[in-house]
Amino acid sequence: MTLGNKLSKLRKQNNYTQEQLSDILGVSRQAISKWESDVSYPETEKIIQLSKLYDCSLDYLLKDEITDENSYDKGVVLRVRELYYEKTSKKKINGVPLWQINIGLGRTAKGIIAIGIKSKGIISVGVLSMGIFSLGVCSLGMVSLGIAALGILAAGNIAVGIMAAGAISLGIIALGAIAVGEFSAGAMAIGNYMAVGDYARAAIAVGQSEAYGIIYQKVGELTPADYNNICDLIHKEVPAYFSWAGELMKVFLKY
């Protein structure tokens, strides 16, 4: 029996229509039809899904000479099941599942909400994560949280973004133990326009222990007069396209 013959037989034995099976596997009905006609073959991950769904061995599906789906080692199937976990919502938006959990090596979760070792979605959670809102060990997104995070707003041990916060951070506004940016604040703060921290180095530098400023430097607590002077310098020295960042630094200094 060919793979297509077996897939057709198993689907009918388990009372699935091609439409129902296509929804479960996240493929088109035409793809199911082509598999069962031996016109094309499923990807490896789909074969594993089918093995789990039909409770049969991979050997049965892949070897034409094996014609009895019950002649297999149950332990093999159990080990196959342990390789991954997948669950997908039936509801879709523009063809994309509302949510998907897909956990397994080499597998990627894709959905409006995606959870997996690798994940892509508007809201994405994973070891490797990509989304508008992204959470992971390594994450990329508009709002990104992770050990290593890259995004417009990024927070992590290592963070890179327009606004970045982390142990080591790099951004237009950078906050962290070591912060490098146009505007930075942290234990060691290095900035182009302004730096605030224990050690600060920038055009405008405010430090608790050390400050090195090209235009202005201050060590210790700020007086109201110091604050006013810094606000005037921000207004004069910071380009208009970074004025929003300058305003945020004024607030940071004040509180």
Q: Show me where the domains of the chain are located.
A: 3-82, 87-130, 145-254
The pLDDT of residue 80 is above 50: no
Please choose, from the candidates 252, 243, 244, 202, the residue with its C-alpha nearest in 3D space to the C-alpha of residue 222.
252
Helix or strand or coil: residue 221?
Answer: coil
Please answer whether residues 157 and 166 qualify as being in contact, where contact means their C-beta atoms are separated by less than 8 angstroms.
yes
Least confident of 100-109, 112-121, 239-248: 100-109
pLDDT per position as a tens digit, 6-16: 999 999 988 88
Q: What is the pTM of this model?
A: 0.63
The pLDDT of residue 143 is above 60: yes
Please choose, from the candidates 236, 244, 241, the residue with its C-alpha nearest in 3D space to the C-alpha of residue 163.
244
Please answer whether residues 222 and 231 qualify as being in contact, where contact means their C-beta atoms are separated by less than 8 angstroms.
no
CA 239 to chain centre: 33
Please answer whether residues 136 and 129 qualify as being in contact, where contact means their C-beta atoms are separated by less than 8 angstroms.
yes
The pLDDT of residue 204 is above 90: yes
Say what percent of the chain tops pLDDT 90. 59
Helix or strand or coil: residue 6?
Answer: helix
What CATH fold (topology level) applies to the domain 3-82? 434 Repressor (Amino-terminal Domain) (1.10.260)
Residue 128 CA to residue 106 CA, distance in Å, equals 11
Averaged pLDDT of the chain: 88
pLDDT per position as a tens digit, 24-35: 898 999 999 999
Cα angle: 49, vertex 54, 55; to 5 degrees? 95
Residue written as token pair 């210790």: 220
* Radius of gyration in angstroms for the set of CA atoms belonging to the chain, rounded to a whole number: 28
Q: What is the pLDDT of residue 164?
A: 95
Q: Please name every residue paired with 104 in a beta bridge, in sequence order, or none if there are none.
A: 84
Say what percent of the chain tops pLDDT 70. 92
Q: Please name every residue paired with 15 in a beta bridge, in sequence order, or none if there are none.
A: none
Cα angle: 69, vertex 3, 45; to 5 degrees? 90
